[in-house]
């Protein structure tokens, strides 16, 4: 790709508490922010990645903005709410690296995103969001966003991160996620999330359903087995490296998304993008927290 690409990643940035013994380590993360950071690392400098969200007018929000900016993400489209604060979550990691979360996000500033409309998205080439993005938006804003996407003419990328507690009921989640899949040009689903939300019995059922809904390109994330191509053309399944160390699986899928997209946007080679995304996720799960050090 020779023309500089402008990517908008939309969602909620949160304060992250990761405990090591009794001492918490404070950082910042969020599914679409994590993807934005790994996408930025995967792209050449000519391309740009912007994050769309709302934070507070407090010291932690400013530290969050500094953190995002330090990772090369443009923060022009992150607004400050005068009264609300960012959401917060704590990670508990089991000995095998699997993690569980506690969230304090019900009244986060990010839930006021797009109250002024969607015109700020017009100048971007790629729109990236997730089901978490949709879940935190009030219904009227969510519906307006989906209407805007339907006629925007941009490349739409979607990841169906399914978090049941964020939705009022399963039916609302199903209808919202289905609508997003029907609009998506590039899909980055996780097999576990899709099976949990839509009761598919196998990964082949997941791919068949998504294909029926018009998704013809992307990658189905399958954990340790590595991703599977979703494409109309035949793609030989790559041989993936195995994880040598699993410390913390936080952001495994988000980092895959960023590296996959960065690779594909610049090389137009889905097999290479699958491998690049998988290799990035292996590095992330060998590290505590969502964001690995740059060195």
Q: In what order do the strands lie in the sheet with 217-220?
A: 78-80, 48-55, 6-10, 126-130, 155-159, 186-187, 217-220, 228-231
Residue 219 lies in a domain: yes
Which of these, 10, 17, 63, 7, lies nearest to 250 by C-alpha position?
Answer: 17
Residue 1 lies in a domain: no
The CATH number linked to 247 is 3.40.1190.20
**What is the three-class DSSP state of 47?**
coil
pLDDT at res. 162: 96
d(CA 273, CA 267): 8
254 annotated active-site: yes
d(CA 58, CA 86): 9
Residue 35 lies in a domain: yes
How many folded domains does the chain comprise? 1
Residue 238 lies in a domain: yes
Residue 292 lies in a domain: no
**Domain that residue 148 falls in:** 6-285
pLDDT at res. 261: 98
Residue 293 lies in a domain: no
Catalytic, out of 31, 193, 248, 254: 254
User: What share of the chain in percent tops pLDDT 90?
Assistant: 80
Q: Which residues of the chain have pLDDT under 50?
A: none
Cβ neighbours, 10 Å, residue 286: 15
| pTM for this predicted structure | 0.94
d(CA 293, CA 67): 12
Which of these, 94, 77, 85, 72, lies nearest to 19 by C-alpha position?
Answer: 94
Which of these, 121, 165, 162, 166, lies nearest to 145 by C-alpha position?
Answer: 121
pLDDT at res. 42: 97
pLDDT at res. 97: 61
Residue 291 lies in a domain: no
Residue 294 lies in a domain: no
């Amino acid at each position: 790709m020779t023309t500089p690409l402008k990517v908008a990643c939309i969602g909620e940035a949160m304060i992250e508490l990761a405990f090591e013994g009794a001492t918490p380590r404070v950082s910042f993360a969020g599914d679409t922010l994590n993807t934005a950071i790994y996408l930025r690392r995967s792209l050449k400098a000519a391309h740009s990645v912007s994050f769309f969200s709302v934070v507070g007018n407090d010291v932690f929000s400013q530290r969050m903005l500094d953190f995002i900016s330090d990772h090369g993400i443009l923060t022009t489209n992150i607004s400050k709410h005068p009264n609300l604060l960012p959401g917060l979550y704590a990670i508990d990691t089991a000995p095998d690296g699997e993690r569980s979360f506690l969230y304090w996000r019900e009244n986060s500033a990010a839930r006021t995103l797009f109250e002024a409309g969607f015109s700020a998205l017009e100048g971007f080439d790629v729109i990236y969001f997730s089901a978490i993005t949709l879940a935190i938006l009030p219904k009227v804003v969510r519906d307006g966003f989906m209407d805007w996407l339907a006629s925007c003419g941009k490349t739409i990328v979607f990841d169906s991160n399914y978090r049941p507690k964020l939705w009022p009921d399963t039916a609302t989640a199903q209808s919202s996620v289905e609508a997003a899949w029907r609009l998506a040009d590039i899909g980055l689903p996780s097999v576990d999330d899709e099976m949990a939300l839509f009761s598919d019995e196998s990964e082949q059922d997941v791919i068949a359903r998504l294909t029926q809904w018009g998704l013809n390109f992307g990658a189905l994330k399958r954990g340790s087995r590595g991703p599977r191509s979703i494409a109309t053309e035949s793609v030989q399944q790559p041989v993936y490296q195995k994880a040598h160390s699993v410390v913390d699986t936080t952001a495994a899928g988000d980092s895959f998304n960023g590296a996959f997209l960065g690779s594909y946007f610049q090389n137009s080679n889905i097999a290479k993008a699958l491998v690049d995304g998988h290799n990035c996720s292996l590095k992330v799960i060998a590290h505590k927290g969502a964001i690995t050090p740059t060195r």
